[in-house]
Structure 1
Amino acid sequence: MSGILKVFFDRISDLIRIHKDIGRKLRGKNMAMLSCSNYDDLKEGFTMPFVESANYLGMNYLGDIHTYIENEIINDEVKLRLDTFLKNLKNHLSG
């Protein structure tokens, strides 16, 4: 986990311990996770903190997608993944 991501989850944990009134406002809200790198190399367990934070806060976890760029280009496989993910999100949110 990068330092920036660690700080993000530290702030989320503040909503659980310190700023409980703000944390309670997240209950019932939706969360999804989009990650991007230079390779199709999402590490096992990367999504777990997002899923578990959403569960703990009573949020609806809508899923996640990992994308990547090769030689400064988004390839057709990634475009298809994104299109499918976005279609599923739209269906869920309009459902």
Structure 2
Amino acid sequence: MANQPLILLASARKESDTAAFVQKVFQDTPHTLLDLLDYHVGPYRYENDYPIEDEFLKLIDQLLQHQVIVLATPVYWYAMSGGLKTFFDRLTDLVTVQKSLGRQLEGKYVFLMAVGADDALPDGFEVPFKLTAKYLHMQYGSSLYASTQELETDIYHLGNHREFLREIQDALQ
């Protein structure tokens, strides 16, 4: 598993533009796909008293098996999806009560895929991804963006996709 990227899909619906984008880009590339909709991840709690059905640590265990993590999110109100934001908030657990797990993220690579209505990612969109990767001693690779217009007309920047996949393959080496 470590020799293929793990994609964490963070859309609010199963049949999303982001899911279609991931499918298109990775159609010929072996990968592991985890959909946040399939997991119960509650909001961060300072008391660290999560319900028994909380699956954040289960997700982390799967992430730790991979050298490359691709975060795939729609752009909602100029930011990542609420589900991914909740996941990011829960990363706090990995620098407080689950430090041994958090330390295992060091050196792993993070890439970003996003889909939104605008022609380009909003200014500052990548900042939380880059700074979170830096804080956790991970390597931030790059991002790949598609507008919903591109998806609707099936116009893809194939050169960008190939370069993105090449960077991921390089990170797996």
Asked if 1 retains the 8 angstrom alpha-carbon contact of 2:109 and 2:171, the reply is no
Alignment map for 1:9-88 (pairs within 5 Å): 9-70=88-149, 72-76=152-156, 78-88=157-167
RMSD: 2.0
Instruction: Look up the SS of the partner of 2:119 in the other structure.
Output: coil
Structure 2 Cα separation of the partners of residues 82 and 40 of structure 1 = 16
C-alpha deviations, 1:40-73, integer Å up to 9, x for none? 2311111111111111111111121212242623
TM-score, length of structure 2 as denominator length: 0.47
Distance change in 2, residues 1:75/1:15 (3 Å): same
Structure 2's unaligned 5+ residue stretches are 1-78
Asked if 1 retains the 8 angstrom alpha-carbon contact of 2:106 and 2:138, the reply is yes
How many residue pairs match? The answer is 93
36-45 vs 26-35, greater mean Cα deviation: 36-45
Distance change in 2, residues 1:69/1:79 (3 Å): farther
1:32 Cα deviation (Å)? 0.9
Question: Match for 1:22: what amino acid?
Answer: L
Structure 1's unaligned 5+ residue stretches are none
Structure 1 or 2: more helix by fraction = 1
Structure 1 Cα separation of the partners of residues 90 and 171 of structure 2 = 28
